[in-house]
Every structure is written in C-alpha cells, then in structure tokens.
Amino acid sequence: MGSTPQGVESGKTLVEGNKETVALAKMIDRASGLGAQPSPEFEEQRTRWERRWASRAARRHEPGSGATDRTISDLPLKPVYGPEDVAHLDLARDLGFPGEFPYTRGIHSGMYRDRLWTMRQFSGFGNAKQTNERYHFLLSQGQTGLSVAFDMPTLMGYDSDARQARGEVGRCGVAIDSMRDMQVLFDGIDLAQITTSMTINGPAAIALAEYVATAESKGIPRAKLGGTLQADILKEYIAQKEWIFPPRPHVRIIVDMMKFCTAEMPRWNTISISGYHIREAGSTAVQELAFTLADGFAYVEAAMKAGMDVDTFAPRLSFFFNSHIDFFEEICKFRAARRIYARRMRDKYGAKNPQSWTLRFHTQTAGCSATAQQPENNIVRVAYEAMAGVLGGTQSLHTNSMDEVLALPTEKNVEIALRTQQVLAYETNVTNVIDPLGGSYFVEALTDEMEKQADDYFKRIEEYGGVIEAIEAGFFQHEIADASYSYQRSLESKDRIIVGVNAFEKEEERQEIDLLKIGEEIERGQARAVQEVRGSRDSAKVETALAVLKRACADETRNVMPPLIDSVNALATEGEIVEAMVGVFGRYRETAIF
Amino acid sequence: MPSARPLRVIVAKAGLDGHDRGAKVIARALRDAGMEVIYTGLFQAPEQIVQTAIQEDADGVGLSILSGAHMTLFPDVLEQLKAQGAEDIVFFGGGTIPSDDAAELKRLGVREIFTPGAPLSQIIEFVQRECGKRRELVG
C-alpha cells in the first residue's frame, strides 16, 4: 500500500470491485488504517452522543456563533470527530513516520529534538547603515539568521532618485541601489557564517549578483554563501504585484538562477516559493496551499524543460507559508503541503533523491490577522500563530511585531516578537514530541480534506493550460478577490469576530504606542548617494557590462547571472540594470479587475 | 433634487504599492451599495488619478496606500485636484496610516482616512453622504 500515491483513488477502485474483494479490502484497510474496528459499546456511546447533540437546548447566540461550523476559510467542521472520519486513511501510505515518505509528520526524523527552528526576523528600513545596526542588534539578542526587507523602489527595480520612488524610499524596507549599499548592509557580518534570506522577486537575480559581489569583495567565495532568495515571481502576478517583466522571461531568469546556483553556490537555496502573500491578499488556507504548490510545480517543470535533472535542483527548493489565526486549519495545511509535495515530486516528476521529496518551509505569522485597534492584542495572536507553525513542523519562523499593522516595528516590539519564539521554544515543551497532533481524528481528517481540495484546484489550473495561462486569464486573482470579499462580509455581519474590531471595542481609542518614523532625509540622502555612485565610477565599464547583459537576455541559450555579476561589480545601479533588461523583455501590465 | 444617476467613485492605487486587497474589497462594497465604481489598477501617478476622476465625472476619489508613502502621495493628489480645479470631488482614503499622520492629512484637505478594521458600512455611509452632497451642489 505504501507506494500508492493517491489514497482516494485506490479507495474508489476497491468500492467498484466485487463484494468479496470489498469486504476483504475493508479488513485489510482496518488492519493498516487509522480507524480501529469500533466495539458495540463504542457504537452505543456514539448513538447516545448523537441523540444528545441533536436535541440539545444550549446554543450559543452571541456574535461570532454564526461561523462555529466552518474554519476561517469556510471548510465545514463537525462538532466532534471519530474513527469513522479517518477509516479511509492508511498509516503507512498517508502518515508514516517523521523523516519518512510522505513526510506528513515532519521532514526530519528527530525534528526539534535535534534542532530548533531558525528564528529569523525579517528586517530592513531606511538606509543600509540603519538596517545594518538593526542586524547587529538582532544577532546580539540571539537571532540565528538574517532576513532582508527591501523598500518598494528596490523591489520594483527603481533607483532612489527615480520619479517613481517619490515618498517610498526606505519606508517598507531598506533602500539598496548598488553593490555599494549591499556592502554597507552587511558590514561587520561574517557572510561565511550567517545565512541570509532576501525577500525580493522581480530583481532577485540582481540582488543575488550584489550579494555574491559583496561577499567576494570581502574575500569570501560564492561557494561558501548560505541563504535563500525568494525569487518567486509567479505569486507576484497572483498576489503581491511586485513584478517587472512579463511572466515568461521572468521564469527564464529564475531558471538561469537555478542553473547558476546549482553549479556554483551549493549552499544557496535559489527560490522560496511563497504562499504568504497569497494569503495576505485574502485567499483561503486551501487556496494558499494549492496555488503555492502549483507555482512550485511550475518552476520544477520549467527547470526540467530547460534540461535540468530534477534531483540536481529540487533539494534546494524551499517554501514560505503564512500562519493565520485558525489554529488547527493552519497545522493541517502544513501537514498536507508536505504530503502533496512528496507524492508529486516522487510520483509525477520522478525525483529519486529523498531530499527532493521533502518540503522545507519558512513561516511568518499573518500580518492580515493583526489589528490596528488595541494593538497589544497582536502579541497574543502572534503567539498562537507561531505555535501553529511549530506544531506544523516549520523549519524557520518570523513572528510579527504588534505594531506592524501601523508602521515598521520599533526595536522594543521586535524584541517582544523574538521573545515570543524563545518562550515557545524553551518553555512550553511543545518541541519535545514530534507531530504531537498526528493521529488526532480531526487533524488527520482535515489534513486529508485540504489535500483533496488542493487536488481539485490543480485540476482547474491544468484546465487553463498551466499556472501562467491561469494568471493571464485572471483565475487566481478572481478566486482571491472573491474569498477576501466574502471574509470581509462575514466580519460585517458579525458571523466572525475580531476582538477590538467588531466586538469588545474600546470607545475613543487612542494610539498610545510609539511608532518608528522614517524621515524624508533618508530619501534625500539615498538619492544623493546613488548620484555619487554614478559620478564616481568608470562609465565606459558600466556601458560595456550592460551591453553584454542585454545580449545575454536576448539569447536564451546564455545565462544572465555572470553578466549581472559583472554589471554590479562595475557599479551599475539597480535601476540601470533593470532598464537594460526591460529593453529586451518589456514591462508587465496587469488588467485591473476587482 | 438629487440626480437619478448613481454616484460615481474612483478607487485608486498610487506609487509603487502593490497591496490591493483593501482597494478591491472597498470597490466591490461600494458597487454592491449601488454606486458606479472605477478601479484604476496599480501604480498610478497622482496626475493620472485626478485626470481619470475628471474624465469620468466622478463624485469621489478614494486612495489606498499601505506602503508608508501616504504623506507624499495624498498631498500630491490634493495638489493635482487644486491645479485642475477639481476640489469639489470628495477625496478620501485609507491604509496603514498612523493616527497623527491621518490628522495631518485631514488638516490638509483629505476628507476622511479609514484605517484597517474600519467597517464597510461606515465607509459606504461616508461616501454616500459626502458624494451625495457634492452631487447636489454640482448637479
């Protein structure tokens, strides 16, 4: 049974067989399945409970009770689960053990007994010098990895002095215009020791080139660099909307990066396929699960189509999920994600290396679950969401700060968020038993249901012809907009309650927490700095490098990474490099729909 | 006499900010409340937004900003409304905007700022009331 990829389908075949086979198969299923043979006494207990449930007098009528029979994503919930809900599951096929296919229970055999998750707080604001100081602070407080947040102009490929950058420089993250800023950002940090995650997508290849050039300028070879680039462009068209080029050339650049890293940067995870932003844009948990994995499989297919062997790149793909406030639904989402991925990677894409089957993921607590009202309550929300991530087996975690719904976080609030993870890791003891919710009737049933619903989405995406075609048809965008509107309406009707927002409000609430403000002088200073870079370099060298880059862009048989590294070393700015590439690829425009 | 034509509102996104969840929810809610809604799509320059509003004969413009650039982009739109003689158009907005910034924007002439968690009913009521007044004056 262990090799049957789809439990559901094998069940169907059995039902269609003759009666004897069915009876025999049921016995076998019981023997290897999760649902034990119920005794007559148990059946009596069930009947009594069902009668009481049907005739019960007590019903909640307060706000929020309109949605007690559904998860936050509208998946139906029973009041209680039993062995009948998991009778179709097979222990070996569907659960296994931690570190064993299909990895439902975790990707490592020892999980947090052997190694805690990486506590990785996403951080960046103002200019490179300010952010560098925050990194030194976080590292001194026990953080174990760095995670760079870039500002909007950097994410969209504009220099800080561009007209489009007005008002945006340094606000959402750090402004990086050239390799010189990258050198300041990592000043005094040993890039051979630390791992760095960079959340950047459109210009991801440029950021990677700048990181490599920065390390090499300090004498650290690229082969020693460890970290992750987000570089997941498909979810930009679906949800986050930070694109530059149209989808097809963007995916080609990603494949170039995968090839480059496979050959030259063995410790670097090329791409972090992200559901986080899909969820923040208003999707349900199932949509986050399905769309993210569909994106992941699209990259796998693109790389295989470009001639790469799946086992050369798949072990370094990683994922990034949201941990929202519906506790069990999130845990089930993580478990289902591992199982779907393992099955498809082995059975559909033919990966042979077990490391190609394992879905490793980073988790961030849900920014969209935080409220501007009574912001201190966000500390509590973050703690529950972080625990769901850990019970779901995450490899690294970012806990949001309570003030992020209002502004970039202050140092004090970032510290509370980091302490939340430390309390979880060192005090609660939830780390001591692997997948402690495995075998729960409810958790197993919901995990299975989410896998089935994700499969339904995969079929619908295939009907469009694939992820890019579905993006072009506006499929994902419509699905997400529908889900977010229906969720908003459930808040309006008070079917769902958010504390401090549509119940338990305080009259005349005043913001009493201190907020981090980014001054306009950052923008002026950064604009001056990028102009100084342009004035001080050898411009003939820049022109040559950009011309070579453009030729590589126009020729699919060449890789864009080496000419990108040459361009950043010549101190070409990000905006100049992007303009050169736009000259070949064009710029993406979205049809506005709501 | 209020005209029989429904109120017309522009929902706009400016600058480099790609967060469009709120803007889309508001656009749908205003449409479901019986208004004509035009969503500009992302990355609009302030002058484009004001031009659209004038061309479409809009009663109101709602601007959504979650990138922190609100103290630049709201005043830019206000300035464009003045420059193009369209100050009668009701200009309001929303996003992750701290309360002291919201107060300053209202002082400058933004009619209302809604922050995360504001009920749709409150936003709809505001737009109907204020855009309705504008319609009565302008016709």
Please report the pLDDT score of residue B53 as a whole number.
97
Task: Give the residue carrying structure tokens 């062995």.
Answer: A83
pLDDT at A8 over 60: no
Which of A125, A156, A166 to mutate: most B Cβ within 10 Å? A166
Which of A163, A168, A278 to mutate: most B Cβ within 10 Å? A168
Asked whether residue B16 is assigned to any structural domain, the reply reads yes
Q: What share of chain B is helix, strand, coil (3-state, %, to 5)?
A: 45, 20, 35
pLDDT at A5 over 50: no
Contact check, Cβ <8 Å, B16/A164: yes
- Contact list in A for residue B23 (CB cut-off 8 A) is 594
Helices A441-464 + A327-343 axis angle, to 10: 60
Q: Which residues contact A162 (CB under 8 A, 6 or more apart)?
A: A153, A575
Give strand ranges (E) for A124-248: 146-149, 195-199, 226-229
Please report the pLDDT score of residue A529 as a whole number.
97
Q: With H, G, I as helix, E, B as strand and everything else as coil, classify residue B29.
A: helix
Structure confidence at residue A9 as a pLDDT band (50, 70, 90): very low
pLDDT at A94 over 70: yes
Using the CB atoms, write b or e for A89-116: b if 16+ within 10 Å.
bbbbbbbbbbbbbbbbbbbbeebbeeeb
CB pairs under 8 A between A and B: 105
8 A C-beta contact, residue A102 and residue A96: yes
Whether the CB of B99 is below 8 Å from some CB of chain A: the reply is yes
Please report the pLDDT score of residue A22 as a whole number.
53
Return the structure tokens found at A196: 């760095």
Q: Which residues contact A364 (CB under 8 A, 6 or more apart)?
A: A122, A276, A320, A321, A322, A323, A397, A398, A399, A400
What is the rounded average pLDDT of the residues A121-136? 90
Structure confidence at residue A16 as a pLDDT band (50, 70, 90): very low
Of residues A511 and A121, more confidently modeled: A121
Residue A349 main-chain phi, psi, to 5 deg: -100, -5
Q: How far apart are CA B44 and CA A164, in angstroms?
A: 10
The pLDDT tens digits of the residues spanning A343-383 come to 999 999 999 999 999 999 999 999 999 998 999 999 999 99
Helices A574-585 + A561-569 axis angle, to 10: 150
Using the CB atoms, write b or e for A145-166: b if 16+ within 10 Å.
bbbbbbbbbbbbbbbbbbebbb
The pLDDT tens digits of the residues spanning A44-61 come to 999 999 999 998 877 777
- Contact list in A for residue B41 (CB cut-off 8 A) is 590-592
Contact check, Cβ <8 Å, B16/A518: no
- The total number of structural domains that make up chain B: 1
Of residues A32 and A1, more confidently modeled: A32
Q: How far apart are CA A265 and CA A209, in angstroms?
A: 12
Asked whether residue B1 is assigned to any structural domain, the reply reads no
Q: How far apart are CA A177 and CA A168, in angstroms?
A: 13
Query: How close does chain B come to A152, measured CA to CA in Å?
Result: 6
Q: Which residues contact A543 (CB under 8 A, 6 or more apart)?
A: none
What domain range includes position B115? 8-134
Query: Residue A399 has what DSSP assignment?
Result: P
Task: Give the residue carrying structure tokens 């479409």.
Answer: B56
Please report the pLDDT score of residue A18 as a whole number.
55
| CA A166 to each of CA A107, A133, A522, A524, B84: distance values in angstroms, whole numbers, following the listed order | 45, 25, 12, 10, 21
Chain-wide mean pLDDT for chain A? 91
Q: How far apart are CA A119 and CA A398, in angstroms?
A: 6
Structure confidence at residue A19 as a pLDDT band (50, 70, 90): low
pLDDT at A532 over 80: yes
pLDDT at A15 over 80: no
Contact check, Cβ <8 Å, B69/A368: no
Q: Which residues contact A153 (CB under 8 A, 6 or more apart)?
A: A159, A160, A162, A164, A165, A168, A169, A175, B16
Q: How far apart are CA A551 and CA A563, in angstroms?
A: 9
Closest by Cβ to B72, choosing from A153, A158, A167: A167
Q: What share of chain A is helix, strand, coil (3-state, %, to 5)?
A: 55, 10, 40
- Contact list in A for residue B98 (CB cut-off 8 A) is 406-407, 511, 515
pLDDT at A544 over 80: yes
Asked whether residue B97 is assigned to any structural domain, the reply reads yes
Contact check, Cβ <8 Å, B28/A485: yes
Q: How far apart are CA A120 and CA A418, in angstroms?
A: 9
Q: How far apart are CA A180 and CA A175, in angstroms?
A: 11
Query: Residue A165 has what DSSP assignment?
Result: G
Whether cis (ω within 30° of 0) applies to the bond prior to A102 is yes
Q: How far apart are CA A148 and CA A266, in angstroms?
A: 21
Residue A301 main-chain phi, psi, to 5 deg: -65, -40
What CATH number does residue B75 fall under?
Answer: 3.40.50.280
Q: Which residues contact A172 (CB under 8 A, 6 or more apart)?
A: A149, A150, A151, A152, A155, A408, B67, B68
The pLDDT tens digits of the residues spanning A281-298 come to 999 999 999 999 999 999
Residue ranges and CATH numbers for the domains of chain A are 7-53+67-94 (no CATH), 108-432+442-492 (3.20.20.240)
Asked whether residue B114 is assigned to any structural domain, the reply reads yes
8 A C-beta contact, residue A191 and residue A214: yes
pLDDT at A1 over 50: no
Closest by Cβ to A592, choosing from B39, B99, B119: B39
Return the structure tokens found at A461: 């995406």
In percent, the amount of chain A with pLDDT more than 90 equals 81
Contact check, Cβ <8 Å, A406/B120: no
Task: Give the residue carrying structure tokens 């400058």.
Answer: B108
Query: Residue A289 has what DSSP assignment?
Result: H
Whether the CB of B40 is below 8 Å from some CB of chain A: the reply is yes
Please report the pLDDT score of residue A10 as a whole number.
38
Q: Beta partners for A195?
A: A226
Q: With H, G, I as helix, E, B as strand and everything else as coil, classify residue B36.
A: strand
Q: How far apart are CA A311 and CA A355, in angstroms?
A: 8
Please report the pLDDT score of residue A227 as a whole number.
92
- Contact list in B for residue A491 (CB cut-off 8 A) is 119
Asked whether residue B110 is assigned to any structural domain, the reply reads yes
Quickly count: other Cβ atoms within 10 Å of residue A498's Cβ: 18
DSSP B66-94: -SS-HHHHHHHHHHHHHHTT-TTSEEEEE
CA-based nearest residue to A357, from A335, A340, A369: A340
DSSP A470-533: HHHTTHHHHHHHHHHHHHHHHHHTTSS--BTTTBSPPTT----S------HHHHHHHHHHHHHH
Of residues A537 and A29, more confidently modeled: A537
Whether the CB of B18 is below 8 Å from some CB of chain A: the reply is yes
What is the rounded average pLDDT of the residues A260-280? 95
Which of B10, B21, B70, B76 to mutate: most A Cβ within 10 Å? B21
Quickly count: other Cβ atoms within 10 Å of residue A537's Cβ: 16
Contact check, Cβ <8 Å, B120/A481: no
In terms of average pLDDT, the best of A19-23, A168-172, A272-276, A506-510 is A272-276
Structure confidence at residue A337 as a pLDDT band (50, 70, 90): very high
Task: Give the residue carrying structure tokens 């990603």.
Answer: A254
Closest by Cβ to B27, choosing from A158, A498, A594: A594
Closest by Cβ to B15, choosing from A167, A510, A590: A167
Helix (H) or strand (E) holding A435: none
Closest by Cβ to A241, choosing from B25, B42, B69: B42
Considering only A101-105, A503-507, A532-536, B84-88, which range has the smallest mean pLDDT? A503-507
Chain B, window 44-63: residues with a beta carbon less than 8 angstroms from a chain A beta carbon: none
Q: How far apart are CA A399 and CA A27, in angstroms?
A: 46
Contact check, Cβ <8 Å, B117/A282: no
Helix (H) or strand (E) holding A307: none
- Contact list in B for residue A372 (CB cut-off 8 A) is 96, 115-117
Asked whether residue B122 is assigned to any structural domain, the reply reads yes
Contact check, Cβ <8 Å, A240/B27: no
Contact check, Cβ <8 Å, A242/B17: no
Q: How far apart are CA A532 and CA A552, in angstroms?
A: 28
Q: How far apart are CA A298 and CA A321, in angstroms?
A: 17
**ipTM value for the complex:** 0.90
Asked whether residue B117 is assigned to any structural domain, the reply reads yes
What is the rounded average pLDDT of the residues A101-109? 98
Structure confidence at residue A6 as a pLDDT band (50, 70, 90): very low
Closest by Cβ to B121, choosing from A282, A492, A498: A492
Asked whether residue B3 is assigned to any structural domain, the reply reads no
Contact check, Cβ <8 Å, A594/B37: yes
The pLDDT tens digits of the residues spanning A53-82 come to 998 877 777 777 778 899 999 999 999 999
- Contact list in A for residue B99 (CB cut-off 8 A) is 510-511
Return the structure tokens found at A449: 């249901």
Query: How close does chain A come to B34, measured CA to CA in Å?
Result: 15
DSSP A369-380: G--SSSTTHHHH
| CA A518 to each of CA A127, A216, A573: distance values in angstroms, whole numbers, following the listed order | 10, 32, 23
Please report the pLDDT score of residue A123 as a whole number.
82
The pLDDT tens digits of the residues spanning A239-256 come to 999 999 999 999 999 999
Q: Quick one: CA torsion of B50, B52, B58, B64, rounded to 10 degrees?
A: -60
In terms of average pLDDT, the best of A7-11, A16-20, A134-138, B52-56 is B52-56
What is the rounded average pLDDT of the residues A315-322? 96
pLDDT at B3 over 60: no
- Contact list in A for residue B25 (CB cut-off 8 A) is 282, 484-485, 488
Return the structure tokens found at A548: 């070579």
Contact check, Cβ <8 Å, B41/A165: no
Rg (C-alpha) for chain A, rounded Å, is 25
The pLDDT tens digits of the residues spanning A464-476 come to 999 999 999 999 9
- Contact list in B for residue A518 (CB cut-off 8 A) is 68
Quickly count: other Cβ atoms within 10 Å of residue A443's Cβ: 21
- Please state the pTM of the whole predicted model: 0.91
